[in-house]
Amino acid sequence: MIVEYARSRPWKSSASVAIAVASLSLLCSGCSVAEGPVLDPKGPIALTERDLLFRATAIMMIVIIPVFIMAAWFTVRYRGTNRKARYAPNFDFYWPAEIVVWSVPAAIVVWLAFHLWEYTYKLDPYTEIDPSVKPLQVQAIAQDWKWLFVYPEQNIAVVNELAVPVGRPVSIDITSDTVMNSLVIPALGGQIYAMAGMQTRLNLLADEEGTFWGRNVQYSGRGFADQQFQTLAMPQEAFDSWVQKAKDSSNALDAATYEVLAKPSEKVPVTYYSGVEPNLFECIIGKYSHGDADRMPRSSKAQLTE
Amino acid sequence: MDIFGRLTIDSLPFYSAVAASGAAVTVLGGLAVAGAITYFGAWRMVMTRWVSSLDHKKIGIMYIMLALVMLVRGFVDAAMMRSQQAIAYNNEGYLPPDHFDQIFSSHGTIMIFFMAMPFLSGLANLIVPQQIGSRDVAFPFMNSVSLWLTTAGAGLMLTSLVVGKFSTAGWTAYPPYSGVEYTPGVGVDYWLWMVFISGFATTMTGINFLVTIFKCRAPGMTMFRLPLFTWTIFITSVLIIFAFPALTVACAMLILDRNFGFHFFTNDMGGNMMNYINLFWLWGHPEVYILILPAFGVFSEVVATFSQKRLFGYISLVCATIAIGLLSFTVWLHHFFTMGSSAKVNSFFGTMTTIISVPTGVKVFDWLLTMYRGRIIFKPPMLFTIGFLVTFVIGCLSGVLLALPPIDYMMHNTTFLVAHFHNMIIPGVLFGYLAGYMYWFPKAFGFKLNEKWGTRAFWCWIVGFYIAFMPLYVLGMLGMPRRMEHYDIAAWQPHLVVAWVGAFIILLGMICLAVQLIVSIRERNEALDLSGDAWNGRSLEWATASPAAPYNFAVLPKVESRDAWWDMKQRGVAYQRPEKYEDIVMPKNTYAGLVIGVAGGVFGFAAIWWMWWLAFLALAVIAGTIIYRASDDDDEFIILASEVKAIEDERFARLAKAPKNEMADEPGFAGESAAEPAT
């Protein structure tokens, strides 16, 4: 019977097949996405970003759903062969319809704009998460094709691994010693570009223990696909012993070691350094900017003028 | 100095089987076309009637042929990427990074610059003069130069497959990666020169159509009587004129960086890559509207014609088009919210971006209201339109999400972004252009395209689209970055396999399009459009013969309302024979456009390979051709009134054989009378 029905209305049967296939593929994918970093965040920044994602999606359904309904309804109802439907060939203007189609999307945009400003200020990567707590300082340097993290207060450095204590804000100063990169840890938040001669910053916080992947997401050449690292979110005691482990390393990151490390290399294993060349991060920026303060984005410029 | 610059025998692609076979296909394809022309003895016809033609309709057809060829090439790239990503979980797949990176770079470059742009110019050329009741575009010779310079750019694109390697810097070529320090070799230079040359051509096309629409309208065709497609080409031309110089300048500066030791965008010596990114997107964002507005125009024409109803909200649609055009220059920063701008700057550009969704939403509702109380006939162009309406709003949703800076921080550079812009460009731009191709094909060639294969193509494209791109949204939620040659996260692979299946279904859609064209040509005598009004149309292009005479209109029409042709049919003044014909002056054919195009291509090739003597020679040829052409006063010819009469007599003889209405046999046909039936 379905076949017969389909034969009589070929356009309808193919439409239903298409919808069935599309919704099946959506369903299948729905299962794993719930566990993905975007929908299952591990820190307040990513969580608030998700919150905005949900709210904005919901409000836009006011426009999206009527489009689906109208498209389906009008296509079926006003098909040429349906002689019962009213036909109004000169119906081309109707004030109330015009007012609705302009004002409803405009009202949604006003709603969105208020949220947009609020959330953009709240989630500005430069904004400190909790001004009452001194964040852990980390300096991230993008290289071909790895990430070097320097902990200035602990005087350690590590390649392709980032450890953070759970519950304590982390402030990551970012620059690049190569082409443009972009640092993201999807479960925690991000991203922001890393650019040579300039400094950007990410403020993050992990409020659950775990291992979350992070990486460069701005295409940067041959080794791009493997330019990733693990973020270890651990309790303070575990973090302290992680720092100790790095301090026990026999490698030191002096200027000469850095020169070698900065050369292009792929799939570099996690490497710890105890003792870091003083002002390494500033020197890397200065190498390209010749100390030109105008080249440094906001935060560092502010520091310089202070 | 070596006369071959940096070109050596090692530049030929014998280093990789995949690259060598790509080159072989390109070369053999070119030889096959040349062989076929020779076999059919058609060189004279091709050269004298087409290549040298200044007829806007023929130029339009050649543009669209170029677009379709490049669509195939761009699709092959896409299929190769999908295949690589489907298998490259914890292994290197079949493409090394260097090759994969060239492919995603060429895919984007081809689809934007050499598929969408020529398709847009082609449709505009074919239809706009006929819609405004004109005999030609404002600058027919410049039109020919535009075509051949665009083709030169596309030629460089194809050449890069055979000689040397293409860029690995993506279609946006962000410095400093695209700088000579990090990407030496010819790849980025290929990209730069082809974009530079074809960008020049596009700028001239924009100027041409702006002037054409301003100055060449038939008597009575006021701006607010212009069909929507012409309106969208008008706004697109304005956008082209203001936006493309930014791209040309950005390219020129990067060329200076790479070849002459300048430091506009380098890491050090005072260069700053952020300037390039701003310039690029100052062009790049208007560019997406340059692409999509004409598609909106096509949908507006198609939805009214096949709903057999006036377009709903004409003034709203025009205002929305203008609003989108203006706003498109105020949002470019949303392509790089993550570059570290302050919350204030990001909020401003985010808000402006969401505002664009208002006129876009208005358009969607006006098209839906056009269908309301219509009598819809489901021809392939209409199917593409309905498919667009439903699918496009999903892309609008993801677009508004990405316009919110905090969400962009998460989703930028992921496949969510890739899914979003394909969601705009495939159902929006490409479906629009394909709808236009099927809708206006009878106007160009005098017979309709096969509907059965058109419908099949539509279903393959739309189902394939959903299956190929919905998984990319999901992958974005899983954090997958774009441009990954391989990966080690197991959860990604199933989605990439599904996306691969989608690409395969789109391949079937491509095959259906090819079969449709072949079947239609073979069975053309069964689908002839004798009246010139293939779909019971509404605007003036349907007043001409199919295909239209070189002069389009023997007597320029007098326009008295919107939907000018529909109005003439209603008033019973359509198909009237004038009392007498007059001589018509038309531009003569010339090879000058072709010469400039070929010289432009040679110049690009020479500049890429540092054969400076050849570059200067090519420039001299271009300058000489322009001077020769400018001083040639004998560039027009007269079609005598008697010849016009002969052509028109033949048209009326065909009209006599035509059915009274080409659509009369359709089950959904609403009847001749547009009067509202009593209820």
Give the integer Cα–Cα distance in Å for B179 and B373: 58
Q: Are B588 and B637 in contact (CB under 8 A)?
A: yes
Strands (E), B369-413: none
Q: Above 60 in pLDDT, residue A9? A: no
Indicate if the pLDDT at residue B198 is higher than 60.
yes
Say whether B439 is catalytic. no
Name the H helices within B428-529: 431-445, 451-477, 493-522
Q: Please tell me the distance from the alpha carbon of residue B444 to that of residue B484, in angstroms, as a whole number.
A: 43
Cβ-proximal residues to A98 (8 Å cutoff; 6+ apart), any chain = B313, B316
pLDDT of residue A300: 46
Residues of chain A contacting residue B405, judged by C-beta atoms under 8 Å apart: 116, 119-120, 123
- Interface contact flag, A222 B355, Cβ < 8 Å: no
Chain B residues touching A63 at Cβ < 8 A = 361, 393
Query: Quick check: A288 and B268 CB within 8 A?
Result: yes
Statement: residue B567 has pLDDT above 50:
yes
| Confidence at residue A190, expressed as pLDDT on a 0 to 100 scale | 84
Closest CA to B482 of A94, A182, A274: A182
Would residue B104 show up in a list of annotated catalytic residues for this protein?
A: yes
pLDDT of residue B12: 87
Residues of chain B contacting residue A92, judged by C-beta atoms under 8 Å apart = 309-314, 370
Alpha-carbon distance of A172 to A125, in angstroms, equals 10
Average pLDDT over residues A68-72: 97
CA geometry: angle at B61 spanning B57 and B65, to 5°?
A: 170
Amino acid B13: pLDDT: 84
Asked if residue A98 has pLDDT above 60, the reply is: yes
Give A 48-77 residues with CB within 8 A of chain B.
48-49, 52-53, 56-57, 60, 63-64, 67-68, 70-71, 74-75
Query: Contact B133/B553 with Cβ under 8 angstroms?
Result: yes
- The single-letter code of the amino acid at B463 is V
Q: What is the pLDDT of residue A29?
A: 57
A119 touches chain B (CB under 8 A): yes
Inter-chain CB proximity B389 and A113 less than 8 Å: no
Helices (H), A9-43: 10-33
Answer whether residue A25 shows pLDDT above 90. Answer: no
The predicted structure's pLDDT at residue A289: 79
Q: Which of B58, B62, B77, B301 is catalytic?
A: B77
Work out whether the CA dihedral B283, B287, B289, B293 comes out positive or negative: positive
Of B89, B104, B469, B581, the active-site residue reads B104
CA neighbours closer than 13 Å in the CB half-sphere of residue B70: 31
Task: List residues bridging with B383 in a β-sheet.
Answer: none
> What token pair was written down for A239?
């973090």
Residues 283-342 of B with CB under 8 A from A: 307-316, 336, 338-340, 342
Per-residue pLDDT at A15: 56
Q: Is the pLDDT of residue B542 over 60?
A: yes
| B190: Cβ contacts below 8 Å, ≥ 6 apart | B156, B157, B159, B160, B164, B166, B167, B608
Q: Do B276 and A197 touch, CB atoms closer than 8 A?
A: no
Catalytic residue selected from B105, B121, B134, B143: B143
Give the residue among B506, B343, B367, B530 at the shortest CA–CA distance from B445.
Answer: B530
When CB atoms are compared, the residue of A14, A33, A288 closest to B477 is: A33
CA B156 to chain centre: 18
Q: How far, in Å, CA of A207 to CA of A234, rounded?
A: 9
Say how far apart CA A152 and CA A172 lie, in whole Å.
Answer: 11
Q: Measured between alpha carbons, how far is residue B667 from residues A8, B309, B379, B542 in Å?
A: 13, 16, 12, 22
- Whether chain A has a CB inside 8 Å of the CB on B393: the answer is yes
pLDDT in tens, A176-217: 999 999 999 999 998 999 999 999 999 999 999 999 999 999
What is the nearest CA distance from B140 to chain A, expressed in angstroms?
36
A55 CA to chain B: closest CA distance, Å? Answer: 10
Given this model, what pLDDT does residue B74 score?
96
What is the four-CA torsion angle of B429, B430, B431, B433, rounded to 10 degrees?
A: 90
User: How far is A211 from chain B, CA to nearest CA, in Å?
Assistant: 14
Binary contact (B667, A80; C-beta < 8 A): yes
pLDDT of amino acid A297: 47
Question: Of A43, A35, A36, A33, which is closest to residue A189 (Cα–Cα)?
Answer: A43
A19, pLDDT greater than 80: no
Q: CB–CB of B376 and A195 under 8 A?
A: no
Edge-to-edge strand list for the sheet holding A228-234: A161-165, A228-234, A210-216, A181-185, A189-194
Entry field: residues in chain A: 306
Across the range A116-140, mean pLDDT stands at 95
Rounded CA-CA distance B546/B533 in Å is 8
The Cα B361–Cα B392 span in angstroms is 10
pLDDT for B14 equals: 83
> Tell me, what's the pLDDT at A22?
59
DSSP A61-78: HHHHHHHHHHHHHHHHHT
Report the candidate in A207, A109, A122, A147 with the shortest Cα–Cα distance to residue B407: A122
Mean pLDDT (chain B) is 95
Q: Are B494 and A32 a contacting pair at CB < 8 A?
A: yes
Place of tokens 């070799």: B185
**How many Cα neighbours within 13 Å face the side chain of A224?**
27
pLDDT band for position B9 (50/70/90)? confident
State which residue of chain A sits closest to B308, comparing Cα positions: A89
Q: Do A29 and B471 touch (CB under 8 A)?
A: yes
Question: What is the 3-state composition of chain B as percent helix, strand, coil, each rounded to the nearest 5?
Answer: 70, 0, 30
- Report A:94-113 residues touching B (Cβ under 8 A): 94, 97-98, 100-102, 104-106, 109, 112-113
Chain A and chain B share a number of CB contacts under 8 A equal to 327
| pLDDT confidence band for A8 (50 / 70 / 90) | very low
Give yes or no for residue B677 having a pLDDT over 60.
no
Domains of chain B, earliest start first: 1-41 (no CATH), 42-590+635-657 (1.20.210.10)
Residue B679's pLDDT band (boundaries 50, 70, 90)? very low
The pLDDT, as a whole number, for residue A31 is: 59
User: What is the per-residue pLDDT for B1?
Assistant: 56
The Cβ of residue B533 has, within 10 Å, a number of other Cβ atoms equal to 26
The mean per-residue pLDDT over the stretch B491-504 comes to 96
Residue B648 burial (CB count, 10 A): 17
Contacts of B396 (CB under 8 A, 6+ apart): A64, B357, B360, B361, B364
First to last CA, chain B: 85
| Active site annotation includes B321 | no
Residue A20 pLDDT greater than 70, yes or no: no
The whole-angstrom separation of Cα B668 and Cα A90 is 17
In this complex, is the C-beta atom of B386 within 8 Å of any C-beta atom belonging to chain A? yes
Q: How many whole angstroms separate alpha carbon B86 and alpha carbon B78? A: 12
CB atoms inside a 10 Å sphere around CB B61: 20
Instruction: Give me the pLDDT at residue A34, please.
Output: 76
Burial class (CB in 10 A: 0-12, 13-18, 19+), B241: middle
Write the single-letter amino acid at B158: L
| Residue tagged active-site, from B62, B70, B81, B117 | B81
Q: Residue B359: is the preceding peptide bond cis (ω within 30°)?
A: no
Which tens digit of pLDDT belongs to each residue from B633-664? Answer: 899 999 999 999 999 999 999 999 998 888 98
- Amino acid letter at A275? G
* Distance (Å) from the alpha carbon of B354 to chain A's nearest alpha carbon: 6
B485 CB within 8 Å of a chain A CB: yes
The edge-to-edge listing of strands for the beta sheet with A156-159 is A200-204, A170-176, A136-143, A146-151, A156-159, A271-274
CB contact at 8 A, B225 and B314? no
pLDDT band at A2 (very low <50, low <70, confident <90, very high): very low
Q: Considering only CB atoms, which chain B residues are within 8 Å of A195? A: 273-274, 339-340
Residues of A in contact with B310 (CB under 8 A): 89-92
Tokens of A91: 């119906």
* One-letter amino acid for residue B539 of the chain: S
* Residue percentage of chain B with pLDDT more than 90: 92
CA distances for B2 relative to B6, B8, B12, B591, angstroms: 8, 10, 18, 32
Give the confidence band of B527 by pLDDT, cuts at 50, 70, 90: very high
CA–chain centroid gap for B259, Å, is 31
Q: Is B80 helix (H, G, I), strand (E, B) or coil?
A: helix
**If you average pLDDT over residues B109-113, what whole number do you get?**
97
Task: Give the CA dihedral B129, B134, B138, B140, nearest 10 degrees.
Answer: 70
In the residue annotation, B263 being an active-site residue is answered as no
* For residues A277-306, average pLDDT: 67
CA of A250, closest CA in chain B: separation in Å? 31
Per-residue model confidence (pLDDT) at position A298? 46
Q: How confident is the model at residue B673 (pLDDT cuts 50, 70, 90)?
A: low
Mean pLDDT to the nearest integer, B218-237: 97
Contact assessment for residue B464 and residue B425, using Cβ atoms and an 8 Å cutoff:
no
Strands A161-165 and A228-234 turn out to be: parallel
* pLDDT for the residue numbered B660: 84
Q: Is it the case that residue B310 has pLDDT exceeding 80?
A: yes
Over 90: is that where the pLDDT of B536 sits? yes
* Radius of gyration from C-alpha coordinates of chain B: 25
Measured between alpha carbons, how far is A281 from A297 in angstroms, rounded to an integer? 15
pLDDT tens figures, A251-290 = 999 999 999 999 999 999 999 999 999 999 999 999 997 6
Q: Which of A9-13, B48-52, B249-253, B361-365 has the lowest mean pLDDT?
A: A9-13
Mean pLDDT in residue range A52-68: 95
Strand extents, DSSP E, chain A: 136-143, 146-151, 156-159, 161-165, 170-176, 181-185, 189-194, 200-204, 210-216, 228-234, 271-274
Cβ distance B131 to B540 under 8 Å? yes
Q: In the prediction, which pLDDT does B11 show?
A: 86
Average pLDDT of the segment spanning B340-351: 96
Q: Which two tokens stand for residue B578?
A: 């004038």
From B55, B101, B136, B563, active-site residue: B136
What is the rounded CA–CA span in Å between residue A306 and residue B134?
A: 67
Q: Is the pLDDT of residue B355 over 50?
A: yes
Annotation marks residue B300 as catalytic = yes
For chain B, give the number of residues.
679
Q: Is B125 an annotated catalytic residue?
A: yes
Average pLDDT, chain A: 88
Query: Does residue A19 belong to the interface with chain B, where contact is any CB pair within 8 Å?
Result: no
Q: Which helix (H) or strand (E) holds A288?
A: helix A280-289
What mean pLDDT do residues A63-84 have? 95
Averaged over B266-282, what is the pLDDT?
94
Q: Are the beta carbons of B176 and A196 separated by less than 8 Å?
A: yes
Range with the poorest average pLDDT among A10-14, B5-9, B574-578: A10-14
What residues of B are in contact with residue A220 (Cβ under 8 Å)? 177
pLDDT of residue B678: 43
| CA nearest to B390 within chain A | A68
Chain A environment of B459 (Cβ under 8 Å): 14, 18
CB neighbourhood size of A47 (10 A): 16
Q: What part of A 165-224 touches B (C-beta under 8 Å)?
A: 178-180, 182, 184, 186, 189-193, 195-198, 200-201, 213, 215, 217-224
DSSP state, residue B90 = S
The chain B residue lying nearest A190, using CA atoms, is B409
Interchain proximity B177–A113, CB inside 8 Å: no
Answer yes or no: is pLDDT of B309 > 80.
yes
Q: Is 70 exceeded by the pLDDT of residue A16?
A: no
Q: Span B549-563, mean pLDDT?
A: 95
Residue A74 has pLDDT above 60, yes or no: yes
Show which of residues 146-205 on chain B sit within 8 Å of chain A, judged by CB atoms.
168, 170, 174, 176-177, 182-183
Q: Nearest CB to B310: which of A33, A89, A179? A: A89
